[in-house]
Amino acid sequence: MNNLNLKKWLVIGASFIAVAVIYFGCQQSKDVVSGDVAAQVYVAPGSYDEFYLFASGGFSGQIAVYGLPSGRHFKTISVFSQNPETGYGYSEETKAMLNTSYGFNPWDDAHHPEFSMTDGVPDGRFIFINANNTPRVARIDLSTFETKEIIEIPNSAGNHASPFVTENTEYIVASTRFSVPIPNADVPIASYKENFKGTISFIHLDPKTEMMNLAFQILVPGFNYDLAHAGKGPSHDWAFFTSYNSEGANTLLEINASQNDKDFVAAVNWKLAEQYVKEGKAKTYSAEYYRNYYDDNKHLAISTKNNEVKVLDPKDCPGMIFYLPTPKSPHGVDVDPTGEYIVAGGKLATVIPVHSFTKFLKAIEEKKFDGEINGIPILQYDAVVAGEVKDPGLGPLHTEFDGKGYAYTSAFISSEIVKWKIGTWEVVDRIPVYYSIGHLCIPGGDSKSPWGKYVIALNKITKDRYLPTGPEICQSAQLIDISGDKMKLLLDFPTVGEPHYAQAIPSELLMKNSKKFYKIEENQNPYKTGSEKDSRVERNGKDVHIYLTAMRSHFSPDNIEGIKVGDNVYFHVTNLEQDWDIPHGFAVKGLNNSELLVMPGETKTILWKPTKFGIYPFYCTDFCSALHQEMQGYVRVSPENSNVQLSY
Ligand SMILES: [Cu+2]
């Protein structure tokens, strides 16, 4: 073959490959997304989505709110991280939300949102979420989409197995991923087996005040407690926690914590634990932890410090906690809508083990134990297991339910969702996801009564699915229709931060309670300015308090003189508007801080410490009206020793 002929063949060959790629490529994408998909996710302009999806922001420390089926991003709720977009954690009123026993803590890693429930069904009042790094649980009010309360959890590290709620939100449960000395102590790390312990915490939600309070903790062996779910129906009194590292390794866990064929699901009878606390069986440990509460009338966060916690030792509390052997390094633990089946996701297991609650009770009665650890009886695997789902995909992690007798399990390594039938344990369908799914979410999918229309895959890796954005590509959610026999992929949408877990709820449950503005007459902020005529500037030594009002389209006062270098200038901005969706913003040149975003009827304060004399404009940062651009003012800053009088 001469060169020309070779070239010709190469061209023909290349063309064939190109055609084949286009053809098979199209075939593949047709197989993945077909038919009337666009119509199923299209929410026409002006129309509302059917569900709200609340996804954890992972290392953003926040919660992102999306509509379903559209995947439109509506809001980022500030929870554990400062947010310069709203001033959360920067304004004087909100800083205290981020107080901890380690000081002001402006960031965390948020993983698992969980709705409050009534009778085992999400009720639309609150959503809770955990902080993993500096152990905390937050409560977000779903009428305002604002974080209302954050409680720190002492004697804990890596608050991963949290915050899952009992059937009527009696308790929010939390457990330690990292075991540590309890109380914390300066000991050699190699003394892990001797000195390190885990805890399981029960946070009580007061039904009247709706405030959180750390009711008690249970001291458990030093494993890594990973995830949790409370029981429901017949298993109402119980909560279940997965654990791995029953080996007690403290180094190179990928090998050293993967030795045992089975680790454990810990089953805790919280009703009995409650009883033991009442009977005085708990020991009081000194432990410093904060509770931060945002008062909606004062528009102000208040921190209180607690100094002790009640701790139960399983050795003193028979019948309170049992271990269910579970293959192998289990991750998720999920309870089906009937409350009978407890499904574990062994990330290194070849099957999905499903425990039976009925068999579990019977095994306890018949004392089918295989020894004990630190006073916790270990049940025999065969005595508690209801069945195993064979061939569930590689790396099964989490399971949600559709309320029609099926379970859906995410498989991280094989990047798929596997649908299986409860009772027969047979796999009936599987669908690839793109890629490396962690959690998955069916609206109400961990409740007694799921709205089983969609499953949302929460994916860690999206290489080749989106436009490149530098070294980091977004994480992603995928919407999958589960209304028919076969799962059908409908939509990909990128997420804010890492969506570890998400929960969704019908929009109608939240829309009707949505708060439109705060009543100005109910505003009890100590720096409130009730009307424009009360706006003023007051000096108290080096502290200057500017009582500023905002109303379309001006600030009052808007010319302020007599501020000096070295002053602490507090801008207390009250938004006098009494209408929906009219926030005003505030920023002043050279402000070493975030902006303020002030909702109608609210007062918010930002601290400014001018370091150079001159003229400093301030303005409204949130477009509010046709004359928004006119909404501005000036501050004159004079040298420290100047005798320019205060005027406004
Ligand atoms: Cu404005």
Looking at residues 37-55, what average pLDDT do you find?
A: 96
**Residue 72 C-alpha to ligand 1 middle, in angstroms?**
26
Looking at residues 132-156, what average pLDDT do you find?
A: 98
Does 498 score more than 50 pLDDT?
A: yes
SS3 label, residue 153: coil
Residues 6+ apart with CB under 8 A from 475: 58, 458, 459, 460, 461, 462, 494, 495, 497, 498, 499
User: Cα separation of 497 and 62, whole Å?
Assistant: 8
Residue range 372-398, pLDDT digits in tens: 999 999 999 999 999 999 999 999 999
**Residue 626 C-alpha to ligand 1 middle, in angstroms?**
10
**Residue 524 C-alpha to ligand 1 middle, in angstroms?**
22
User: Cα separation of 17 and 630, whole Å?
Assistant: 62
pLDDT for the residue numbered 33: 61
**Residue 575 C-alpha to ligand 1 middle, in angstroms?**
9
**Residue 580 C-alpha to ligand 1 middle, in angstroms?**
14
**Residue 537 C-alpha to ligand 1 middle, in angstroms?**
20
Looking at residues 590-615, what average pLDDT do you find?
A: 98
**Residue 555 C-alpha to ligand 1 middle, in angstroms?**
8
Residue range 97-123, pLDDT digits in tens: 999 999 999 999 999 999 999 999 999
**Residue 623 C-alpha to ligand 1 middle, in angstroms?**
6
**Residue 634 C-alpha to ligand 1 middle, in angstroms?**
15
Distances (CA, A) of 165 to 290, 335, 339, 455, 633: 21, 12, 14, 21, 49
**Residue 583 C-alpha to ligand 1 middle, in angstroms?**
7
97, 91 Cβ separation under 8 angstroms: no
**Residue 456 C-alpha to ligand 1 middle, in angstroms?**
38
**Residue 166 C-alpha to ligand 1 middle, in angstroms?**
44
Does 12 score more than 50 pLDDT?
A: no
**Residue 624 C-alpha to ligand 1 middle, in angstroms?**
4
**Residue 92 C-alpha to ligand 1 middle, in angstroms?**
20
Alpha helices in 67-161 (DSSP H): none
Give 241-294 as a DSSP string. Answer: EEEE-TT---S-HHHHTS--SEEEEEEEEHHHHHHHHHTT-PEEEEEEEEEEEE
User: Cα separation of 479 and 259, whole Å?
Assistant: 37
In the block, tokens 């705060």 appear at 518
**Residue 622 C-alpha to ligand 1 middle, in angstroms?**
6
**Residue 596 C-alpha to ligand 1 middle, in angstroms?**
11
**Residue 603 C-alpha to ligand 1 middle, in angstroms?**
14
**Residue 49 C-alpha to ligand 1 middle, in angstroms?**
29
Does 246 score more than 90 pLDDT?
A: yes
**Residue 333 C-alpha to ligand 1 middle, in angstroms?**
48
**Residue 514 C-alpha to ligand 1 middle, in angstroms?**
22
**Residue 633 C-alpha to ligand 1 middle, in angstroms?**
12
**Residue 586 C-alpha to ligand 1 middle, in angstroms?**
8
User: Cα separation of 211 and 128, whole Å?
Assistant: 12
Beta bridge partners of 104: 99
Looking at residues 260-283, what average pLDDT do you find?
A: 97
Task: Return the amino acid letter for 611.
Answer: T
**Residue 548 C-alpha to ligand 1 middle, in angstroms?**
13
pLDDT for the residue numbered 13: 44
**Residue 75 C-alpha to ligand 1 middle, in angstroms?**
20
**Residue 646 C-alpha to ligand 1 middle, in angstroms?**
25
User: Cα separation of 301 and 136, whole Å?
Assistant: 16
**Residue 142 C-alpha to ligand 1 middle, in angstroms?**
26
Closest to 33 (Cα-Cα) out of 487, 389, 530, 537: 487
**Residue 577 C-alpha to ligand 1 middle, in angstroms?**
10
**Residue 599 C-alpha to ligand 1 middle, in angstroms?**
11
**Residue 53 C-alpha to ligand 1 middle, in angstroms?**
30
Distances (CA, A) of 538 to 517, 527, 561, 564, 634: 28, 11, 12, 13, 17
Question: Before 435, cis peptide (omega within 30)?
Answer: yes
530, 520 Cβ separation under 8 angstroms: yes
CA angle 47, 50, 56 (to 5 degrees): 115
**Residue 198 C-alpha to ligand 1 middle, in angstroms?**
51
**Residue 526 C-alpha to ligand 1 middle, in angstroms?**
23
Does 10 score more than 70 pLDDT?
A: no
User: Cα separation of 26 and 644, whole Å?
Assistant: 75
User: Cα separation of 531 and 528, whole Å?
Assistant: 9
**Residue 279 C-alpha to ligand 1 middle, in angstroms?**
58
Joined tokens for residue 314: 């399983």
**Which of these ranges, 32-46, 60-74, 354-368, 569-583, has the smallest mean pLDDT?**
32-46
Residue range 405-449, pLDDT digits in tens: 999 999 999 999 999 999 999 999 999 999 999 999 999 999 999
**Residue 574 C-alpha to ligand 1 middle, in angstroms?**
12
Residues across the chain: 648
**Residue 517 C-alpha to ligand 1 middle, in angstroms?**
15
Mean residue pLDDT across the chain: 94
**Residue 625 C-alpha to ligand 1 middle, in angstroms?**
7
**Residue 437 C-alpha to ligand 1 middle, in angstroms?**
43
**Residue 628 C-alpha to ligand 1 middle, in angstroms?**
5
**Residue 598 C-alpha to ligand 1 middle, in angstroms?**
10
Place 7 in a pLDDT band, splitting at 50, 70 and 90: very low
pLDDT for the residue numbered 233: 97
**Residue 86 C-alpha to ligand 1 middle, in angstroms?**
14
**Residue 604 C-alpha to ligand 1 middle, in angstroms?**
14
**Residue 74 C-alpha to ligand 1 middle, in angstroms?**
21
Looking at residues 37-57, what average pLDDT do you find?
A: 96
**Residue 593 C-alpha to ligand 1 middle, in angstroms?**
19
Calculated CA dihedral for residues 282, 283, 286, 290, nearest 10 degrees: 0
Q: Give exposure, 140-165, as e/b (b: 16+ Cβ within 10 Å).
A: bbbbbbbbbbbbbbbbbbbbbbbbbb
Q: Between the ranges 22-31, 257-266, 362-371, where is the mean pLDDT highest?
A: 362-371
